[in-house]
Amino acid sequence: MAERFLVSVDLKNLQASADNALDLKTISYLNRVHVSVTPGTHQDASAFLRKHFDRFVTYCDCTALENLEDVVSLLNCGATKVFVAYWQLKAIVEDHVLEGQDLSRLIVSFDHSVCEGDPEPRAKNLLSRVKDYVGETPIGIQVHDVHDWKLLDMMNHMSKSEYYPSRYVTLAYNTRDHYVKAVKGGHIAIIPASELTTDPKKYPWLIPAHLLITTGIQSDRSDGMLPTVVTDEHGICLGLVYSSEKSIEIALQSGRGVYQSRRHGLWIKGHKSGNTQELLSIALDCDADALQFIVRQKGEGFCHLNTSTCFGPYSGIARLGRTLQARKELAPAGSYTARLFNEPKLLEAKIMEEASELCEATSKEDVAAEAGDLLYFALTKCVAAGVSLEDIERNLDLKSVKVTRRKGDPKPQWAEKVGLRDITNESTTTVSRTPKEETVQEAASVPKGKEDPAGLLDGRIQMMRYNTTKTDVKTIQEALQRPSQRSTDQIMGIVHPIIKEVREGGDVAVLKYTHKFEKAFSLKSPVIHAPFPQHLMQLPQETIEAIDVSYENIRRFHAAQKEEKPLQVETMPGVVCSRFSRPIERVGLYVPGGTAVLPSTALMLGVPAMVAGCKRIVIATPPRSDGTITPEIVYVAHKVGAESIVLAGGAQAVAAMAYGTQSISKVDKILGPGNQFVTAGKMIVSNDTTAGVSIDMPAGPSEVLVIADKTANPAFVASDLLSQAEHGTDSQVVLIAVDLTEEQLAAVEDELHAQANALPRKDIVRGAIEHSVTLMVKDVEEAMRYSNAYAPEHLILQIENAASAVSLVQNAGSVFIGPWTPESVGDYSAGVNHSLPTYGYAKQYSGVNLSSFTKHITSSNLTKEGLNNVSGAVMQLAKVEELEAHRRAVSIRLEHMAREEK
């Protein structure tokens, strides 16, 4: 198919408001669109692609995107091609982002200003730079803001030998003459929709939309008419006709099939017969000397003989689809055909029967016959469900453009049926966990190979340095930005349907998502109820002792937070106000899984819930793929008196606890850290008044800020930084070096490099170090100003007289004081809680503590004297607010007292 133009549309204003602008429906007739994607419109672009995949051939300008995964996601959503900057092309090739995929879906974009000077060396330089990375792959190039026609001519000439067949341009002046010149020069012009019109008489200064199709097109006929193939939405040829510039103009204006008859002039299809055609799009063939009109046929058919096509009736799948549609509408009640459409179980049995027979078939003839039978019943299900052939083909086309693939192994129950046992590690037996078996889920910034520079400076694992006396404040603020997360809209769009399905589907929905995400296909129930079987808690004695020590220290610290007695204050004579606490009755505790097992989180949440006196404690944690959960978590659940353990993770676990299911208890508050999907789930349910559930706090990736002066031990400093960096590639660690010399700072960096290389999670550490920083400051006061502005989850003070600096702390989740207090003790066994605010939320939130599991109730107790004393103020304010019943509730009592006194 020939490319001549792209129509550029604004994602934020898809339905044009100006009366001269093309609307989206008219643009769809032209078929080929261009959208500019920024981090702020990425979600809009993804939604546009998913919604309009079968309606538009969409090209996405991704040059403003910093995350290459966002570029890949647009290709997966159905972008035909993407425009990338030269640096993006370089990273895509060097980082193997599209490993094994065709690079021809990339178009490398340049601004015309990068090639200043004589046109020939400019063009040579531009094309050779691209060729260095793509080799002989046919790839498109684009030049922005073109007004130098010599440059375009040179590119056009050189591309014939350098094998860059597609040359896209945005014009400095979007006029009819400039567009014609670009197209006739062999370039593909990108024209804003706002510069086009279907009514050139009314808007002569705009480019007529039909010129996008007719400019540069060639006809071998003396009358200039163009051969035109008319096809339906499935690509089936309906017939051969002719088109002219005028017929194309009218077709775009009317949205109908309009052609040029060799004998009768303009031919509006179906104008007399009623067999009209809805125009879907117009395309050029590869040589730009013929057209394709894609239409949706109405009425009897295309041919004047009332057949579907000029070549006879439909055949194959298309014919079967029409036949089944007719049978659905006309089958006698109670007939076998009618039952197939109306009895889902009957149809389900036939599909499984035919699928089984196809699997058993061996000869060519039998395979063809059984495949035909299966397609018949599969299409019957589609017709019964209102699914058209167009829907199926759209789905198939979308699959064909994806550049990433998920693992496609069969589910265990099907693999076992055919004796396929070596493709999956799912098992019904318990698998012991060893360090060697730990699997790390790779994140975006995990180095992809030895040559990946993530986390490296001059070949060493090292954080970027900034000297605050020599660096402007804005640069430092940008350096301290947390690693970017997916957009809120994108996350919410994924989580909302999960929450809804669990709320409505209960246990079945929870199990569905556990099977999908955790691959725990053997699970039949989403929950384990207490008392927990002893065999689920079998642990080495040293692990039991470690948990017991941590349990007792955490219990003591949180028990000390209990209020000794209710607060009671007499605010004025006879007016006594009180406040007392009560435990939240039902709490849900989320314990993450994933790249690490976290029984410590079960302790940090479960022990204060137990100390507070919560009547029901529900723990949710993702199971392993064999359906079991780690025995450490079961043991902690047993010690804190948990009622049950929900075998699920993510938003589905949050929803199950928020709304309750057939077997999972509803809770009143959900606490615990998690990834972006867990956090989004918590925020959604807490905002749903029908759920009646609260949460502890928003949470993000782990982080630590270490303040170190010349008294700090470099090995200690490095180890504290790495203890958080190993959590995940989205973690961030910050070192604030107070008046350190170059030698002292180098000693810390040497330790960090050496210790990091010795860690089993070294690649994850490098991913975190990539966006971690060192600030060099002059004194502790300056260090604390930066720390308070950052508001770290963990703050470590490795400075002289560290305890005296605590008074300067305004914002932090938890503080670790002095050289002998590593952050690790807070994570596990010191007694303080490790469930802390991250991502700067320490400015507004406290970490989990005993009050997280309690609520305060106030009371007022007035005597007659007290009511007399306060009544004047109450009645006056009620009068001001015009709440008469409030005022009368006091005045009636005063009147009653007055009567008693008489």
d(CA 668, CA 585): 7
**Active-site residue, 793 included:** yes
Cα pseudo-dihedral 665, 667, 670, 674, rounded to 10: 10
Task: Residue 787: name the closest of 724, 796, 731, 729 by CA.
Answer: 796
Strand partners, 162: none
| Adjacency order of strands within the sheet including 464-467 | 464-467, 773-777, 732-738, 703-708, 794-798, 814-817
d(CA 813, CA 836): 5
Q: What is the DSSP letter of 3?
A: -
d(CA 837, CA 833): 11
d(CA 190, CA 30): 13
Structure tokens that stand for 611 in this block: 């100390």
3-class secondary structure, 714? helix
Sign of CA dihedral 60, 66, 68, 70: negative
Within a 10 A sphere around the Cβ of 580, how many other Cβ atoms?
14
**Active-site residue, 234 included:** no
Task: Residue 673: name the closest of 839, 502, 550 by CA.
Answer: 839
CA angle 414, 417, 422 (to 5 degrees): 80
d(CA 730, CA 446): 9
Residue 138 preceded by cis peptide, ω within 30? no
Cα 620 to chain center, whole Å?
23
d(CA 144, CA 147): 9
Give me the amino acid identity at 529. Answer: H
Cα 14 to chain center, whole Å?
23
Structure tokens that stand for 678 in this block: 């867990």
- Residues whose CB is less than 8 angstroms from the CB of residue 34 and which lie 6 or more positions away in sequence, other chains included: 6, 7, 8, 9, 58, 59, 60, 61, 190
Structure tokens that stand for 444 in this block: 């975006």
d(CA 433, CA 599): 14
d(CA 428, CA 425): 10
d(CA 648, CA 112): 54
d(CA 590, CA 602): 8
Contact 279, 256 (CB under 8 A): yes
Task: Residue 268: name the closest of 283, 255, 285 by CA.
Answer: 255
Within a 10 A sphere around the Cβ of 543, how many other Cβ atoms?
13
Q: What is the DSSP letter of 791?
A: -
d(CA 580, CA 568): 9
Task: Residue 29: name the closest of 265, 207, 292, 274 by CA.
Answer: 292
Options 794, 865, 884, 895, the catalytic residue: 794
Structure tokens that stand for 862 in this block: 């007035």
For strand 575-583 and strand 567-572, is the pairing parallel, antiparallel, or unpaired? antiparallel
Structure tokens that stand for 540 in this block: 């080495």
Structure tokens that stand for 825 in this block: 């003790």
- How far the first Cα of the chain sits from its last, in Å, is 103
Structure tokens that stand for 743 in this block: 């030698």
Within a 10 A sphere around the Cβ of 639, how many other Cβ atoms?
18
Options 558, 793, 823, 834, the catalytic residue: 793
- Residues whose CB is less than 8 angstroms from the CB of residue 626 and which lie 6 or more positions away in sequence, other chains included: 426, 427, 428, 429, 430, 431, 520, 522
Question: Hey, which residues are catalytic here?
Answer: 793-794
